[in-house]
């Protein structure tokens, strides 16, 4: 990973932060893109103080001009993006009849439209160079729906379908895609007001465990691709 450029969208905490630290440890130039720039700056300072190389850029994944500016600046300042990690997302986990339409729309805008915008924009650059890896996080709910996850699972199934279609579309482009179906991960998401699910966070996967798998997917040798992986915590996390 020496000197490779890794763009982590959603790099201000949780999975994105852990991935940033892991890639930086292995010599990559890490770009942490996030709406909350201050949180991303804190992560970057930690990486840089440990001898890594991290940069920060603000982005709104639902705004085309913001996403375009992010991709352009990374390519101009650091070079071609070798790895895109789409680590952003939000959640609405509630019974269907309790979900506020505005909350559903906001989540779908980020999880689906945002994933489309970021991926399309960065893959344009990757296809020109005929190389690049894209890591997606539909999670286990992008494969196995659960009670009270109707709209959230819909957004994650959309990411799964989107990515599988892109695999077929890019077989000759040099751009490779990996789907990461992780079970419950101990992140701040579970404290959101729109998540009505009681969980045992101490039994969940840690962001660091997730980062190890993401690094493995991004660091496959030669032309090999880790297309899809499912990893679940050993113990049940629901209360």
Interval 5-58: pLDDT, tens: 999 999 888 999 999 999 999 999 999 999 999 999 999 999 999 999 999 999
Considering only the top CATH level, what class is 5-231? alpha beta
pLDDT of residue 80 exceeding 60, the answer is yes
Phi, psi of 228 (to 5 degrees): -160, 135
In the chain, count of helices (H) and strands (E)?
7, 7
Angle between helices 64-78 and 115-129 (to 10 degrees): 30
The pTM is what?
A: 0.93
> 109-113, 122-126, 141-145, 197-201: which range is least confident on average?
197-201
Convert the pLDDT of each residue in 35-44 to its tens digit.
999 999 999 9
Strand partners, 199: 238
Contact 187, 10 (CB under 8 A): no
Mean pLDDT across 218-237: 84
Instruction: Tell me if 31 sits within 8 A of 7, measured CB to CB.
Output: yes
Domain ranges of the chain: 5-231
Strand blocks (E) in the chain: 5-9, 29-34, 53-58, 83-86, 132-136, 175-182, 228-231
Asked if residue 208 has pLDDT above 80, the reply is yes
Query: Mind telling me the catalytic residues?
Result: 152
φ, ψ of residue 97 to 5 degrees: the values are: -75, -10
Q: 71 in helix, strand or coil?
A: helix
Residue range 155-200, pLDDT digits in tens: 999 999 999 999 999 998 999 999 999 988 877 777 788 888 777 8
Q: Which residue has the higher pLDDT, 104 or 194?
A: 104
Using only the alpha carbons of the chain, give its radius of gyration: 17
Q: For residues 5 and 84, what is the distance between their CA atoms, to the nearest angstrom?
A: 9
């Amino acid at each position: 990973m020496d000197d490779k450029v890794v763009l982590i969208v959603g790099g201000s905490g949780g999975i994105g932060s852990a991935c940033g630290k892991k890639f930086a440890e292995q010599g990559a130039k890490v770009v942490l893109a996030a709406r909350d720039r201050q949180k991303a700056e804190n992560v970057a300072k930690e990486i840089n103080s440990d001898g890594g190389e991290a940069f920060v850029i603000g982005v709104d994944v639902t705004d085309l001009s913001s996403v375009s500016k992010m991709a352009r600046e990374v390519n101009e300042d650091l070079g071609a993006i070798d790895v895109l990690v789409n680590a952003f997302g939000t959640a609405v986990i509630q019974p269907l009849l309790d979900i506020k339409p505005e909350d559903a729309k906001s989540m779908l805008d980020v999880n689906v439209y945002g994933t489309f915008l970021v991926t399309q924009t960065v893959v344009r650059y990757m296809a020109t160079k005929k190389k690049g890896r894209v890591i997606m996080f539909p999670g286990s709910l992008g494969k196995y729906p659960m009670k009270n996850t109707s709209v959230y699972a819909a957004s994650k199934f959309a990411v799964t379908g989107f990515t599988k279609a892109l695999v077929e579309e890019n077989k000759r482009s040099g751009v490779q895609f990996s789907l990461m179906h992780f079970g419950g991960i101990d992140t701040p998401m579970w404290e959101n007001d729109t998540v009505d699910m009681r969980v045992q966070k101490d039994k969940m996967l840690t962001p660091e465990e997730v980062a190890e798998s993401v690094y493995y997917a991004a660091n496959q040798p030669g032309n090999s691709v880790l297309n899809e992986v499912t990893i679940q915590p050993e113990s049940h996390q629901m209360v």
